Structure 1
Amino acid sequence: MYDVVIKGGLIVGGPMGTSKADLAISGERVAAIGQDLKGKRVIDASGMLVLPGAIDAHVHMELPVSGTRSSDTFASGTKAAACGGVTTVIDFTVGSSQSSIPEDIERRLVDAKRSYIDYALHAEVIGWRKSRAWEMLKAIQLGVTSFKFFTAYGSSGRRTDRGALFEAFQVIGELGALAIVHAEDEEIINCIMSSLRDDEFSDMATLAKARPPLCEATAVSDVVYLAEKAGARVHIVHLSSALGLEALRRAKSFYRNATAETCPQYLLLTKDVYDGVDGYLYSASPALRSSHDTQVLWDALIEEEISMIATDHCPFTREQKAWKGRFTDLPYGLPGVETALPLIFSEGVSKRGLSVDALVRLFAENPAKIYGLFPQKGALHIGSDADVVIFDPDEEWTMSVDNLHMNVDFCPYEGMAVKGKVRTTLSRGEVIYNDGVFTGTEGRGRFLARRV
């Protein structure tokens, strides 16, 4: 007699591929997959998809930025995540040239203790120099094996130039860790910004002009080349454009240890939103692109040239994004941790032919493998954590800020018709969301210490 049996659903991400079967849970782990399994608690999943919990490998809870802080705490953000079928998040330390990476990790772990679901961390690397190599080794000993770099944002001190980036990549390669990179070329951005007229700064649409696809493509090419020469695995975050994808394709043709993610906003939104009355609410970096870019990214996603979907969840309220007259004065970021899975199912699986198996790879299996969490996370294998999402593929609903749980008063997809909705979320065998009711306990999430 198992603790929980989920009966009659279509299991995706199991050891036998996609199959109609019962899934049994004992304690916190998947215990069996088969027919006519018996449980103390039975959950009827007839007509439903039974998926491994999604992993959002790129979120920013409580992030200090532009004189404010992203509006979701680790508590509110992970609650919203669970309501959207996400059972693991990977957030970032808040790096500084005045503190060590291990110190940044310890501080961030204190912030994250309120999480409802399991979490891991990336280490943000600010002010790299070779004498700091010991910090990476210590970070790995603390369970943080991925290191974040920026090729832009020099004015805030976050940019790492090419020489330092190569040095850091050499250390990462020697340690067997992973470099993750925000890839936008600072020199191109600065050249464009210096040529703008004063009145252009007061036009939100200038954001797309100031940070064009060329700056992404150039940085992607440079970063992967440096990683190849340093012998380091590298992952490009929030790929946003056709040119960026072209650069990734070229890079992967000579270096296999390069991966990339894209985000729902680069698949579903375009720069046309900047022309609207509320255009400033869509401030994000990279900027939103053209409809051509969104189509090219969809095609690449369906062909699985892009390894995963993450959200870059960095939400702000309308008050925090109040227009001050210049697009450069806005905090950049959009909410997404709760909406990604249903949106991509609706727009990808239901409308564009993305397979459900590919959906699971993009949201669960591939992030788990890239970030060293598989098969504990990202799969419904015997012995895996019982992070399970029961998903109704047929339910139709309208997305609105009023029916979401993120700590925002703005939804980028307001009024969008969606087909497919999360019915139930289990985290390590515990039902924490069911039919619109959240029952999780604050602080129940665990830190996932990873190994290289």
Structure 2
Amino acid sequence: MPLLLKNGRIVTENDTFPGTLLIKDGIISRVLSGENQNFDLENGLQGLKTIDVSGCVIMPGVIDAHTHYQLHSRDTVTAGDFYSGTRSAALGGVTAFIDFADHQENISLGESARSRRKQAEKNAVIDFNLHQTVHYFDDEIYRQLQKIRDMGISSIKMFTTYKDAGYFIPQADRAGLMKACSQLGLLPTVHAEHDEIITRARQDISSRLGGESNFKLSDHADLRPPEAETAAVKRLGRLAREEDVPLYVDHISAGETMKTVEKLREKGANIAAETTPHYLCLDREFLEGAEPEKYFMVPPLRSRGQRNLLRNYFARESVDTAATDHCAFSLAQKREEKNPLNMLPGIPGSETLLALLHHFFVNRNHISYQQLSRQLSTNPARLFGLYPQRGSIAEGSLADLVVFDPEKKKRLTSDNLHSAAGYSPYAHITVRGYPRMTIAGGEIIAREGELKADKGRGDFISAGKSSLFGRK
């Protein structure tokens, strides 16, 4: 059914203007500037559905490039699965996401990716791609990476921490993996924390407190200090420059780390930076409160000074993307661990990504709608090989859109949201500006807080080569 969105403010990556969109067969057919556009309804547009969106902005649908739906960890699985997670995402204006396929023992990377893809296709309500995690590198992994690329996956994920969990990629394997990514056109992404610095911090604090049994959740930020993130980014950035391969740094938590990113860029490193709403909107003081479990994630929340510095880098668009690192363990799951610092990390966030960044940055005139559109839609689409079909409002692009009311107010309590985690880390915040409608592939999948899409609607998106390979 053709769909006409009339009298909105259309947001592209470089402009905002009053206009009307015509959608046919899931594609943006016409983009017309000006109000009250008239169409010849007899010219093949029988059954046209017209919606007046006066007072709202029309943006490209959000692409959440970092999620952990239905995550298996330590013999349990997140309360939020692919259905509940993507339901929340769709209601928050997200039209596509990129999750992770684990590097599992005795299973090839291809088998792991296919299994993860089936899980998502069975349950997700929006389209998706995957990052493939890699924990070591050898000739066989190189051959498997070729197959991963041919399956339509454009990125890999490595960790410079979590040695005890088996995720840590040895220093000796990193150069080989980076070379392989360069040769195969795969974008390496990294969880960057220096494991040795974390180990030393844990030993020092344990000695000072008289043993790990005296640890509190408020110690979490000191046990994984900003220096660990900065040091890991510096080391990986230098290696990426030496191997002439781009690098995407996940969930940067501290402004100091962005200083390092900019210095590496000045020396020729080709680095894209991601952060998340919790590092931009919260700070480590929440770990001192009555329910610190709600704010326990890795990397941890930073000081208010580091948060404000990171906000400045985000507003300057030195930070390329914002994603959520959505990981919806329930509070009951988190509290099962007796040692607080071994608690299951992660918080929900997909539903509130757009609203929070609009509230803290657009409402306060720190950034424009165009910049917000770039950091939430266009940039992730380009960086992960999904552009221009996604991340753009242009004739011929897929009609993945969010109709956003800049005046709609909403308190971000768990009762007002839809995450299976059962809590909200942003319950103290009332935002001004919230989605009224989410459109994916020309189909209205969410409207006024009600999901309109069926479970399993989402499809795997085949990704092309990252634009970062062409950026200097």
Q: What is the TM-score of this pair, normalised by structure 1?
A: 0.97
Q: CA deviation at 1:78?
A: 0.8
- Name the CA distance, whole Å, in 1 between partners of 2:335 and 2:172: 38
How far the C-alpha of 1:130 sits from its partner, in A, is 3.5
Gaps of 5+ in 1: none
Deviations 1:197-236 (A, max 9, x none): 3256531111101100000000001111111111211100
Which residue pairs with 2:134 in the alignment?
A: 125
User: What residue number does 1:418 align with?
Assistant: 431
Query: Could you tell me whether the CA contact under 8 Å between 1:97 and 1:127 is conserved in 2?
Result: no
1:397-428 residue CA offsets vs partner (Å, 9 max, x unmatched): 21110011111211001131110010000110
Partner of 1:137: 146
Deviation at 1:443, TM superposition (A): 1.2
Give the deviation of 1:304 after TM superposition: 0.3
What is the aligned partner in structure 2 of residue 115 from structure 1?
124
Query: Are 2:16 and 1:18 equivalent residues in the alignment?
Result: yes
CA contact (8 A) 2:136 2:170 kept: no
Which letter maps to 1:92? F
1:33 aligns with one of 15, 27, 31: 31
Q: Distance in 1 between matches of 2:56 and 2:62?
A: 16
Deviations 1:27-60 (A, max 9, x none): 1110001133456101111010000000000000
Amino acid at match of 2:52: D
Q: Distance in 2 between matches of 1:208 and 1:63?
A: 24
CA distance in 2, matches of 1:324, 1:183: 25
Matched, 1:158 2:167: yes
Distance 1:323 1:245 in 2: 35
Q: Which AA in structure 1 matches 2:382?
A: K
Deviates more, 1:260-269 or 1:327-336: 327-336
Shift of residue 126 of structure 1? 1.9
- Aligned twin of 1:395: 408
1:185 is matched with which residue? 194
Report if aligned partners of 1:201, 1:328 keep a CA contact under 8 Å in 2.
Answer: no
The residue type paired with residue 326 of structure 1 is N
Q: Using the alignment, how far apart are the partners of 2:400 and 2:270 within structure 1?
A: 28
Contact 1:185 1:215 in 2 (8 A): yes
Q: Which runs of 5+ in 2 are unaligned?
A: 466-472
User: Is the 1:181–1:235 contact (alpha carbons within 8 Å) kept by the matching residues of 2?
Assistant: yes
CA distance in structure 2 between the partners assigned to 1:77 and 1:244 by the alignment: 29
- Contact 2:273 2:319 (8 Å CA) reproduced: yes
Please tell me the residue identity of whatever aligns with 2:340.
Answer: F
Query: Residue 143 of structure 1 contacts residue 448 of structure 1 at CA under 8 Å; is this kept in 2?
Result: yes
How many Å separate the matches in 1 of 2:424 and 2:277?
Answer: 13
Equivalent of residue 73 in structure 1, options 64, 72, 81 = 81
C-alpha separation in 1, matches of 2:381 and 2:337: 41
Corresponding residue pairs, total: 450
Match of 1:42 in 2: 50
**Alignment partner of 1:425: what SS?**
strand
In the alignment, the residues of structure 2 paired with residue 201 and residue 105 of structure 1 have an alpha-carbon distance, to the nearest angstrom, of 41
Identity %: 31
From 52, 57, 62, the equivalent of 2:65 is: 57
Give yes or no for contact 1:202–1:325 (8 Å, CA) kept in 2: no
Please tell me whether residue 345 in structure 1 is matched to residue 358 in structure 2: yes
**Letter paired with 2:31:** I
- Describe how 1:32-431 pairs up with structure 2 within 5 A: 32-34=30-32, 35-37=37-39, 40-113=48-121, 114-195=123-204, 196=206, 197-198=210-211, 201-322=214-335, 324-431=337-444
In the TM superposition, residue 318 of structure 1 has moved relative to its aligned partner by: 1.3
Task: Name the CA shift for 1:104/1:323 in 2 (closer, same or farther; >3 Å).
Answer: closer
